[in-house]
Structure 1
Amino acid sequence: MGLLSQGSPLSWEETKRHADHVRRHGILQFLHIYHAVKDRHKDVLKWGDEVEYMLVSFDHENKKVQLVLSGEEVLETLQEKGERTNPNHPTLWRPEYGSYMIEGTPGQPYGGTMSEFNTVEANMRKRRKEATSLLEENQALCTITSFPRLGCPGFTIPEYTPNPVEGGASKSLFFPDEAINKHPRFSTLTRNIRHRRGEKVVINVPIFKDKNTPSPFIETFPEDDEAAKASKPDHIYMDAMGFGMGNCCLQVTFQACSISEARYLYDQLATICPIVMALSAASPFYRGYVSDIDCRWGVISASVDDRTREERGLEPLKNNNFRISKSRYDSIDSYLSKCGEKYNDIDLTIDKEIYEQLLQEGIDHLLAQHVAHLFIRDPLTLFEEKIHLDDANESDHFENIQSTNWQTMRFKPPPPNSDIGWRVEFRPMEVQLTDFENSAYVVFVVLLTRVILSYKLDFLIPLSKVDENMKVAQKRDAVLRDMFYFRKDICKGGNAVVDGCGKAQHSTEPAVEEYTLMSIDTIINGKEGVFPGLIPILNSYLENMEVDVDTRCSILNYLKLIKKRASGELMTVARWMREFIANHPDYKQDSVITDEMNYSLLLKCNQIANELCECPELLGSAFRKVKYSGSKTESSN
C-alpha cells in the first residue's frame, strides 16, 4: 500500500506546516528522475500481480467467523522464512491497512515470454499455501473483497469495542483502531485524513430493498450527532477509513519499454478499468447488510476523502486553494499520450506554479498537467526523520503525494538509481475467491496489454464517458444489466504507433460516432456488425504466437472464465454471494446478514478456494481440479 517509511509520524498540524516543503521537493525529485531516465528505451516487458488476503477464524460450534488480528505476526514470519533468508524466494509479503490483512506478490517479476502465463496460478497457490501453513487450527486465508460483517459488534478476534470519543485514530462507531495495522503509517493516515477533512469520513451505500426490508430503511445514532447528520435514509452508513482500505483487491503492474509506451498503456487501460471492475464485481455486503452495489470502489473512495467542505464546494474558498471534484481515491482525470489529448474533456484542477515550473524544465504539457494535478493534494503522512532528503537520490517526497493519489491507473516513474523502468499499475479489480479466478483476471489484463501494443489498438473515448462507466460498473449486476460507452473501431485510430501517435492525423475534437453504448458481453465477446470483442482479438493474437500446448490450454481456460462471466453463463462473485445469502434458510428477506449466515458464506468461500467442493455457477467446467491441502478447516462441517 504505497510508501512505507519508518520513523516518528507527525500530527496533521505538523504535517500541514511542511506541506509546501514536501510538494516543492517532491517536484525536484520527480525532475531528477525524469531527466535521468526520460530517454531510456528497450526496457524488458515485465509485470507482476498483487493479491490481498484476509485472515479469518471459524468458530464451528457457535457458527461464527471473525477476522483475526494477527496479520503483523504472520507477515513477520513469512518475511523471515522467505525473502530475508533467500533473496530469490518465489514470494514476497507486504503489510496492508487492516491488521487482519496481508499482501502477497511473486518474488520476481514475470517476463515477456508467453510461458510466464502458465506460472501465475502456481505462484498464487504457493502464496496461499505458505501463509496458510502459519495459521492456527480453524483459521483460514481468504481472498474476499469485503468481509460481510465488517464493523458489526465482535467482528474481530480478539474482540474490541470501538472508541468514538477519546483520542483514537478513526473515532469510528463501528471500526476499532485495533483492527488497523500497527505500522504508524496506517493509523497516522487515518487520523490525518479525519483532521484535514475537519470531520469523520462519510460513506453511505444504498441498501438493497428486499421484500421485508424496512422502507424507508433508517438507522439512528442518538449517541453521535455527526453520524445522525451524515447518515442517509435507505443507506448503510459507515464512518472510517477501514471500511474502504480494509477491503481487498487484485492489482497488476507492468514495466513498459519506454516512457512513451507507458503513457500509451496508461491511457488505453484507463478505458478498460470500469469494464474489468464490473466483470470482477465481488463486494455486495457492508456492515452486516445486503447493499445495492456490487463493487467497493465508491466505498473506498469515500473512506479516504480528505477534502474539506471548501474543497468539496460546500463553502466558499477561504482557507484552501482549490475546489476539488473527486476524492484522492478515484478514476484518472487526464490522459497522458498525445493521441489521448483530444479526449481530455474533464476540467482539470492543477497547481499552476508547479505546472509552469515543469514546463520550464522541459516537461511536455500533458505530463506537466498530470503531475501538477496530483500535487494539488497535501501530504497525509510525514515522518520527522524524512523531512530533509537528498533530492537527487531519494524520492520519498514525490512518492508521498504520488502514492496517496489512489487512482484507477497509476503512472510510475522509475525509483532513483535503479534498473526498474517506467511502469503503469492497473488498480480497479476486485479480488476473487480462488487462485484460478485471480489468475484468469491477471492473465486477461496482461494479455490485453500485449495485444494493445502489438496491434496498436485504440480504445480511447472522452474521459467523461469513462467516468460515467465507472459509476455504472459499481451497480448491482452491472455486467448483465447495464450498458457502457466503448469505442466502435479500435483499429482505425490505433494505426498510430506508440512514439508517433502525436503525428497521426487526428481531428482536434472526438467525433460522437467514434463510440457507442455496448453491453459487457458485446465488449468482451463481440457482436457481429457492432464490435469484434476483446476475447476473439486475444484468441487471434494467440493463434499467431508460438505457445506451448500446456500454456495455451491454461490461457484458453482463463479466457473461457472471462468470456462466460461476461455473457452471464457464469456468475460474478457478487451475484453468487447474493444468491447464497438469499437462499440461506435463516435469511428473512430483510437485507440483514446474521453471524450464522456470514459463517455459512465464508465457510463455503473457503471450501471453494481450497477445492474442497465444486461451484459450477461460479467456475463452470473451466476450473482445473488440482487438489492441494491448503486449508486448516477441512474437517469442518
Structure 2
Amino acid sequence: MGLLSQGSPLSWEETQRHAEHVRGHGILQFLHIYRAVRERHKDVLKWGDEVEYMLVAFDHEHKKVRLSLTGEEVLHTLQEKGEKVNPNHPTLWRPEYGSYMIEGTPGQPYGGTMSEFNTVQDNMRKRRQEAASVLKENEALCTVTSFPRLGCPGFTLPECEPTPVEGGASKSLFFPDEGINKHPRFSTLTRNIRHRRGEKVVINVPIFKDKNTPSPFIETFPKDDGEAARAAKPDHIYMDAMGFGMGNCCLQVTFQACSISEARYLYDQLATICPIVMALSAAAPFYRGYVSDIDCRWGVISASVDDRTREERGLEPLKNNHYRISKSRYDSIDSYLSECGEKYNDIDLTIDKEIYERLVKEGIDHLLAQHIAHLFIRDPLTLFEEKIYLDDANESDHFENIQSTNWQTMRFKPPPPNSDIGWRVEFRPMEVQLTDFENSAYVVFVVLLTRVILSYKLDFLIPLSKVRVMLGIIGGCFSPRLECRPSLRVPAHPNDNQSSNESAYMAQTDLVPLSTSDVNMHTNHSPTPQQSSVLMTAARWMREFIANHPDYKQDSVITDEMNYSLIWKCNQIAQEQAECPELLGGGFNKMKYSGNKTSSF
C-alpha cells in the first residue's frame, strides 16, 4: 500500500521543485533513525501478512462479472464495524490502488510460537467472511491476481468510460480514472508518473498464439492519437495505464528481525528465493481480455510504474537527467546488504554519489550506504503541501516517500521513529491465490523459512545478476511459463564455473523438507510424508479452464461469458463450495468444463 499521507497533493512541476529538499531531508531522517536504533537487538519475531482483494459483481442473467467500484464504501463500513469500535479487532482493512480493491491484514502481529501459525488460515477466513457480510447481493470478494477482462469495455460497475483525450490522471484508452482509488495518493502517483516519463506508460505482453489467433496479432485503437500505434508491438497485448499493474492483487509478508544485522542477512537470503516463490505462486495469465504468454504479473506491474524518461532509458543523450537507469522502480533488488553477500554483488549499481559519501561520512557502512544511495536516485512521485517541512528527528515521511516508491522483490524497513517496532524485512514477490488455505500456506512457509535459515545458518547466495535473470524469466519479462509446482533448477550462465554456493542452491531449491523437519521438531510430530503428486499453478489451472470452456474459439480471446464462468468458479473454490484437486489435491472430481478439448496452453 505504501505511505498514505493526507493533505493537498502538489502537481508534478511543484513536486519536482521540491525533489532535492525531499531527498536531502529523507537522508537526514534515515540518519536520525539509524543513530537511535542501530544497536537495538533481541527483538522477538513478530510478523504479519497483507492480502489484496477484488470486489466483483455477478450478473447471472446476462452471464457477466464486473469489478465493483465500491471499495471506499466497503472499506469505510468495515473500519466502522471493526477497528474503530474495538482497537483489538482481529482484522484491519486498508485502501489499495483500485477503487474495486481493499487490503486486509491481521489486527495484531503474529508471534513466534507454533500455535500462532495455526491461526493464520482462520484469520484469513475471518477477513473473507467479514468483508462478504457487508457486500450487496451478487457481489463477492475475490483473491484473483489479475482480472481477465480488466480494461475491456464495460468491465466496471457502474460502467465508466476512459478519457484518453480529455485529461485526467492516466489518459488511458482502456482504464477509466473512476477505477482509481479516490485517495489523492493514487491518482497523483498515476498522473505524476506519466508527467515525469513524458508519455503514458507502455506495457506490451506477448499474446499466446493458439490455433486461431491471428498471426501477426495486431490491434487498432479507434480513439488513439497515434501514441498507442507507436507503442504497441505486433503479437503483443498493449496496455497504457498504471492500473493494469497496480490494479492487480498480491500477497506479502513482513517480519521483524532481532537486529539490523539479522534483517540484512534475511533480506539477502530471501532475495534468492523470490523468483522461485514467484513461479510457484504464478496466477496471472490473462490481460485485457486475452490469453497471454506469461503467467506472472511482475513484468506488467514493473512497466506500469516505469517513470523513467527517454534519457534515463538510454533512448536519448543525457541532458536534463543525471543518470542512465537500467530498470523500473518496481523490480528485483540491486545489491545484497550483508557482508556475506558483498562478493556476489555483480550488478553495476547506479548511486547518488553525494548521498553515498554523506552516509559513509556519518558512519554508515559501504553496503548499506550504497543501498540507500541507490534508492535515492529516484524522484519523489507525490508530495503534499502540508508535508514539505517536517521535524526530521521525529518524522520519516520524506525517507518513506522515496523508500515506499521503490517497489522491489524485497524491502529492508528501518523502524519508524520513536516506536517499539524493530528492523523489518518485507517479502513481496508472491501472487495472491484463490483460497485462504493457499495464501496462509505461502505466508507460513516464508516465515518458517526465515526460522530455518537462521537455525541452520543457511547460505543460498549466488551472483545477484543470476537472481535478476531468473526474475526476468519467471516474472514475465517475457518468456516460458512454469505450468506446475515442482522444485525449480537454476541454469548456470554459459561458460561460467559454478560456485559451490550455486551448486548447493540448485540442489536445495525445494526447501520444503527443511521447513517440514523444522515444524516436526517444534511440534513433536512424526515426519511428514513427501507428496509425490504435482499440483498445477493457479495460472495453469486458469488456462485449462478457459481452454475447456465450450465458448472458447482457440483464438486467445476471453469473452464476457467465459470470464463470468471462470470468476464464478474461482469464487466457489474460495468459498469452499467446490473442490479443485488440480490446485489443492484431494479428490478426483473434474472441473465443470472438462470436455474432450485439450489445452495447448
Could you state the TM-score of these two structures normalised by the residue count of structure 1? 0.89
Contact 1:473/1:479 (8 A) holds in 2: no
Give runs of aligned pairs for residues 304-343 of structure 1, distance below 5 A.
Answer: 304-343=305-344
Shift of 1:478: 2.0
Name 1:485's counterpart in structure 2: 490
Name 1:267's counterpart in structure 2: 268
Contact 2:338/2:367 (8 A) holds in 1: yes
Unaligned stretches of 5+ in structure 1? Answer: 488-509, 524-529, 624-637
Tell me whether 1:512 sits opposite 2:489 in the alignment: no
Query: CA deviation digits over 1:533-574, x for unaligned, max 9?
Result: 411112222232245x6xx99xx6xxx9xx76xx77211100
CA 1:191–1:484: 2 relative to 1, 3 Å: farther
Query: CA deviation digits over 1:444-491, x for unaligned, max 9?
Result: 11110000011100010000000111022234532559964289xxxx
Contact 1:483/1:517 (8 A) holds in 2: no
User: In structure 1, how many angstroms separate the alpha carbons of the residues matched to 2:174 and 2:444?
Assistant: 37
Contact 2:460/2:501 (8 A) holds in 1: no
Unaligned stretches of 5+ in structure 2? Answer: 589-601
Name 1:472's counterpart in structure 2: 473
Shift of 1:80: 1.1
User: In structure 2, how many angstroms separate the alpha carbons of the residues matched to 1:479 and 1:577?
Assistant: 11
User: In structure 2, how many angstroms separate the alpha carbons of the residues matched to 1:154 and 1:531?
Assistant: 47
Name 1:362's counterpart in structure 2: 363
| Secondary structure of the structure 2 residue equivalent to 1:544 | helix
Shift of 1:221: 2.4
Name 1:621's counterpart in structure 2: 586
Name 1:496's counterpart in structure 2: none
Name 2:540's counterpart in structure 1: 575
Name 2:515's counterpart in structure 1: 538
Name 2:134's counterpart in structure 1: 134
Query: CA deviation digits over 1:134-170, x for unaligned, max 9?
Result: 0001000000000000000000000000000112100
| Secondary structure of the structure 1 residue equivalent to 2:499 | helix
Tell me whether 1:593 sits opposite 2:594 in the alignment: no
Give runs of aligned pairs for residues 167-316 of structure 1, distance below 5 A.
Answer: 167-222=167-222, 223-316=224-317
Tell me whether 1:145 sits opposite 2:110 in the alignment: no
Contact 1:486/1:517 (8 A) holds in 2: no
Query: CA deviation digits over 1:251-300, x for unaligned, max 9?
Result: 00010000000000000000000000000000000000000000000000
CA 1:532–1:35: 2 relative to 1, 3 Å: closer
CA 1:310–1:137: 2 relative to 1, 3 Å: same
Q: Which amino acid aligns with 1:217?
A: F
Tell me whether 1:104 sits opposite 2:108 in the alignment: no
Q: Which amino acid aligns with 1:397?
A: H
| Secondary structure of the structure 1 residue equivalent to 2:544 | helix
Shift of 1:106: 0.2
Q: Which amino acid aligns with 1:583?
A: N
Contact 1:469/1:484 (8 A) holds in 2: no
User: In structure 1, how many angstroms separate the alpha carbons of the residues matched to 2:392 and 2:498?
Assistant: 46
Among 610, 613, 619, the alignment partner of 2:575 is 610
Name 1:10's counterpart in structure 2: 10
| Secondary structure of the structure 2 residue equivalent to 1:55 | strand
Name 1:507's counterpart in structure 2: none
Name 2:351's counterpart in structure 1: 350
User: In structure 1, how many angstroms separate the alpha carbons of the residues matched to 2:535 and 2:283?
Assistant: 13
CA 1:396–1:531: 2 relative to 1, 3 Å: closer
Query: CA deviation digits over 1:480-530, x for unaligned, max 9?
Result: 59964289xxxxxxxxxxxxxxxxxxxxxx962325589xxx96xxxxxx5
User: In structure 1, how many angstroms separate the alpha carbons of the residues matched to 2:517 and 2:280?
Assistant: 22
Name 1:628's counterpart in structure 2: none
User: In structure 1, how many angstroms separate the alpha carbons of the residues matched to 2:153 and 2:551?
Assistant: 19
Contact 1:472/1:484 (8 A) holds in 2: no
Name 2:599's counterpart in structure 1: none
CA 1:511–1:338: 2 relative to 1, 3 Å: farther
Name 1:389's counterpart in structure 2: 390
Aligned length: 580
User: In structure 1, how many angstroms separate the alpha carbons of the residues matched to 2:234 and 2:487?
Assistant: 25
User: In structure 2, how many angstroms separate the alpha carbons of the residues matched to 1:86 and 1:229?
Assistant: 54
Contact 1:461/1:486 (8 A) holds in 2: no
Q: Which amino acid aligns with 2:293?
A: D
User: In structure 1, how many angstroms separate the alpha carbons of the residues matched to 2:392 and 2:411?
Assistant: 22
Contact 2:276/2:488 (8 A) holds in 1: no
User: In structure 2, how many angstroms separate the alpha carbons of the residues matched to 1:589 and 1:153?
Assistant: 21
Q: Which amino acid aligns with 1:608?
A: I
Contact 2:277/2:429 (8 A) holds in 1: yes
Q: Which amino acid aligns with 1:605?
A: C
User: In structure 2, how many angstroms separate the alpha carbons of the residues matched to 1:335 and 1:64?
Assistant: 47
Contact 1:204/1:231 (8 A) holds in 2: yes
Contact 2:50/2:251 (8 A) holds in 1: yes
| Secondary structure of the structure 1 residue equivalent to 2:50 | strand
User: In structure 2, how many angstroms separate the alpha carbons of the residues matched to 1:147 and 1:33?
Assistant: 40
Name 1:436's counterpart in structure 2: 437
Q: Which amino acid aligns with 1:512?
A: Q
Contact 2:488/2:510 (8 A) holds in 1: no
User: In structure 1, how many angstroms separate the alpha carbons of the residues matched to 2:61 and 2:240?
Assistant: 32
User: In structure 1, how many angstroms separate the alpha carbons of the residues matched to 2:93 and 2:258?
Assistant: 27
Could you state the TM-score of these two structures normalised by the residue count of structure 2? 0.94
User: In structure 2, how many angstroms separate the alpha carbons of the residues matched to 1:455 and 1:82?
Assistant: 41
Q: Which amino acid aligns with 1:176?
A: P
User: In structure 1, how many angstroms separate the alpha carbons of the residues matched to 2:306 and 2:292?
Assistant: 21
CA 1:329–1:568: 2 relative to 1, 3 Å: farther
Name 2:593's counterpart in structure 1: none
User: In structure 2, how many angstroms separate the alpha carbons of the residues matched to 1:146 and 1:609?
Assistant: 16
Contact 1:374/1:401 (8 A) holds in 2: yes
| Secondary structure of the structure 2 residue equivalent to 1:478 | coil
Name 1:53's counterpart in structure 2: 53
User: In structure 1, how many angstroms separate the alpha carbons of the residues matched to 2:510 and 2:405?
Assistant: 35
Q: Which amino acid aligns with 1:575?
A: R
Q: Which amino acid aligns with 1:144?
A: V
Q: Which amino acid aligns with 2:61?
A: E
User: In structure 2, how many angstroms separate the alpha carbons of the residues matched to 1:455 and 1:479?
Assistant: 31
